């Protein structure tokens, strides 16, 4: 099994490009199933989950080919509607294929999705929405079949689930009539999916706290560019801040980074922007940040909670970070403690007493973003760290080793 070896203590310096967003390309790829023609996605990150999405399309009889960072999809010949169990279990985003398949073919078969283990991750909101739109749901031993022609309805989401909003919004594009989803996800990746579907002839309008989707008879071919990955970019900014470095990330702006920009400024980092690039200079000692709570967009993203915990482990003073989105996004905490971080858990809060330095340790990644937090800690630590199970991290970070190496970090895969 491969292991990441990181010799820490070198400040990260230099320039890298932000890759295309994992959480944007996955729903866009799945939504391409709605289209009886060719879709070209540029700025597509070459990460394991994007390859799995392409594999799903091919397993269903469609075409999906990468050429560097361009993904060309053609689902005109797609003729199967049961997603193979092996691919459903490989990643949670397999669920985003269900709505588009159901809407176009009137039938979809799938299995309980896999992905990062972050506690219970039910799919009840997706299923309830499809039922409301007229689908019949048949469940037998982990296998779920949805059948029926969809009609536009009003759906109120009790929680602004990213996945459920995206599934239902995509399916509603080919439903009969207008669908209104209240309390939808407003993540930039959800808006990017709406923009993409509109480019293909969809009729989606976002309002303050609702999204309206007028069903159309067909969607047509289009080319779209995947938005930059705010989570990836913020991960490298945290790594630069933790190592007292100075980096530029090209291809993203401070406003696209969202609230993490403000948080990094609170820690004492200088953050500026020039020509579609973000520059960060770390202070000699970071400030603690009290009262950070994860929440749906525009709140603090749960996908950055582990990385900010790693960073605040090195801040002066006490920080408190509370996880509200996932019940068990905490498996990085005992690993960070192995590097010398002083963190205690109380209910869903992490109380972090900043230390002066971290030390290299033998670590294990249990999920994607938790693994990224360990990379940050290891880069900042004195001495050598080993990170086991790095495949979790590669699921979401294109060219991780090349990018860190180009910034002067000492990282290799054994």
Question: Does 87 participate in binding ligand UD1 (rule CB under 6 A)?
Answer: no
Distance CA 59, CA 367 (A): 26
Q: In angstroms, what is the minimal distance from the CB of 398 to ligand UD1?
A: 15
177 Cβ contact partners less than 8 Å away, ≥ 6 residues apart: 151, 152, 153, 214, 215
Q: What is the 3-state composition of the chain as percent helix, strand, coil, each rounded to the nearest 5? A: 35, 30, 35
Nearest CB to ligand UD1, comparing residues 49 and 74 = 49
Nearest CB to ligand UD1, comparing residues 243 and 305 = 305
Among residues 126, 244, 388, 395, which is the contact residue for ligand UD1, using CB under 6 A? 126
Among residues 32, 243, 302, 339, which is the contact residue for ligand UD1, using CB under 6 A? 302
Among residues 93, 235, 305, 385, which is the contact residue for ligand UD1, using CB under 6 A? 93
Query: Can you give the three-state secondary structure of 190-255, one letter per residue?
Result: HHHHHHHHHHCCCEEEECCCEEEEECCCCCCCEEEECCECHHHHHHHHHHHHHCCCEEEEECCCHH
Question: Does 192 participate in binding ligand UD1 (rule CB under 6 A)?
Answer: no
Question: Does 404 participate in binding ligand UD1 (rule CB under 6 A)?
Answer: no
Burial track 388-398 (b if 16+ CB lie within 10 A, e otherwise): bbbebbbbbbb
Question: Does 373 participate in binding ligand UD1 (rule CB under 6 A)?
Answer: no
Distance CA 160, CA 151 (A): 21
Nearest CB to ligand UD1, comparing residues 166 and 385 = 166
In 3D, which of 307, 321, 385 has the Cα closest to residue 353?
321
Q: In angstroms, what is the minimal distance from the CB of 115 to ligand UD1?
A: 7
Q: Report 307-326 residues binding ligand UD1 (CB under 6 A).
A: 325-326
Work out the end-to-end distance of the chain between its first and last CA atoms, rounded to an integer number of angstroms.
Answer: 9
Structural tokens at position 315:
């801040």
* Residues binding ligand UD1: number (CB under 6 A): 21
Per-residue binding string, ligand UD1, 149-168, x by CB under 6 A, is ----------x-xxxx----
Q: In angstroms, what is the minimal distance from the CB of 223 to ligand UD1?
A: 22
Per-residue binding string, ligand UD1, 201-230, x by CB under 6 A, is ------------------------------
Nearest CB to ligand UD1, comparing residues 68 and 120 = 120
Q: Is the dihedral angle over the CA atoms 399, 405, 410, 414 positive or is it negative? A: positive
Q: Is the dihedral angle over the CA atoms 228, 234, 239, 240 positive or is it negative? A: positive
Quick one: which segment of 69-77, 114-122, 246-254, 342-350 binds ligand UD1 (CB under 6 A)? 114-122
Structural tokens at position 208:
């303050």
- Residue 238 appears among annotated catalytic residues: no
Nearest CB to ligand UD1, comparing residues 123 and 343 = 123
Residues in the chain: 414
Among residues 125, 144, 219, 376, which is the contact residue for ligand UD1, using CB under 6 A? 125
Active-site entry in 116, 200, 238, 309: 116
Nearest CB to ligand UD1, comparing residues 302 and 307 = 302
Distance CA 155, CA 160 (A): 11
Nearest CB to ligand UD1, comparing residues 9 and 115 = 115
Distance CA 396, CA 231 (A): 9
Quick one: which segment of 8-16, 121-129, 206-214, 265-273 binds ligand UD1 (CB under 6 A)? 121-129
- 3-state secondary structure (DSSP) of residue 112: coil
Q: Is the dihedral angle over the CA atoms 143, 144, 147, 150 positive or is it negative? A: negative
Per-residue binding string, ligand UD1, 8-37, x by CB under 6 A, is ---------------x--x-----------
Q: In angstroms, what is the minimal distance from the CB of 407 to ligand UD1?
A: 24
Residues that bind ligand UD1 (CB under 6 A): 23, 26, 92-93, 120-126, 159, 161-164, 189, 302-303, 325-326
Q: Which residues are catalytic?
A: 116
């Amino acid at each position: 099994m491969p292991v990441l070896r990181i010799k820490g203590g070198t400040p990260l310096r230099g320039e890298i490009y932000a890759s295309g967003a994992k959480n944007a390309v996955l729903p866009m790829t799945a939504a391409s199933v709605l289209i009886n023609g060719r879709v070209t996605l540029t700025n597509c990150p070459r990460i394991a989950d994007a390859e799995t999405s392409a594999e799903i399309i091919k397993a269903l009889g469609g075409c999906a080919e990468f050429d560097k960072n361009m993904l060309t999809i053609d689902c005109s010949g797609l003729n199967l509607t049961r997603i193979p169990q092996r691919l459903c279990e490989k990643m949670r985003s397999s669920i985003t294929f269900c709505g588009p398949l159901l809407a176009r073919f009137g039938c979809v078969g799938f299995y309980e999705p896999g992905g990062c283990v972050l506690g219970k991750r039910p799919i009840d909101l997706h299923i309830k929405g499809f039922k409301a739109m007229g689908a019949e749901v048949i469940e037998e031993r982990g296998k779920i079949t949805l059948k029926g022609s969809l009609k536009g309805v009003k759906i109120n989401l009790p929680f602004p689930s990213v996945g459920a909003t995206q599934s239902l919004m995509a399916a509603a594009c080919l439903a009969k009539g207008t669908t209104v989803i209240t309390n939808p996800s407003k993540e930039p990746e959800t808006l990017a999916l709406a923009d993409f579907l509109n480019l293909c002839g969809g009729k989606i309008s976002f309002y303050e706290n609702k999204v309206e989707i007028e069903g159309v008879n067909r969607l047509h071919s289009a080319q779209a560019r995947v938005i930059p990955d705010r989570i990836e970019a913020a991960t490298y900014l945290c790594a630069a801040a933790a190592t007292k470095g100075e980096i530029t990330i090209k291809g993203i702006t401070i406003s696209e980074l969202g609230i993490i920009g403000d948080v990094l400024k609170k820690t004492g980092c200088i953050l500026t922007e020039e020509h579609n690039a973000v520059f960060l200079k770390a202070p000699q000692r970071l400030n603690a940040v009290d009262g950070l709570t994860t929440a749906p967009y525009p709140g603090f993203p749960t996908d950055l909670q582990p990385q900010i915990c790693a960073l605040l482990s090195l801040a002066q003073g006490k920080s408190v970070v509370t996880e509200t989105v996932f019940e068990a996004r905490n498996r990085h905490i005992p690993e960070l403690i192995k590097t010398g971080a002083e963190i205690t858990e109380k209910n869903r809060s992490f109380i972090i007493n900043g230390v002066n330095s971290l030390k290299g340790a033998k670590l294990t990644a249990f999920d994607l973003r938790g693994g990224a937090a360990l990379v940050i800690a290891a880069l900042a630590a004195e001495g050598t760290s080993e990170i086991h199970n790095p495949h979790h991290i590669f699921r979401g970070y294109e060219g991780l080793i090349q990018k860190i190496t180009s910034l002067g970090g000492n990282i290799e895969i054994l």
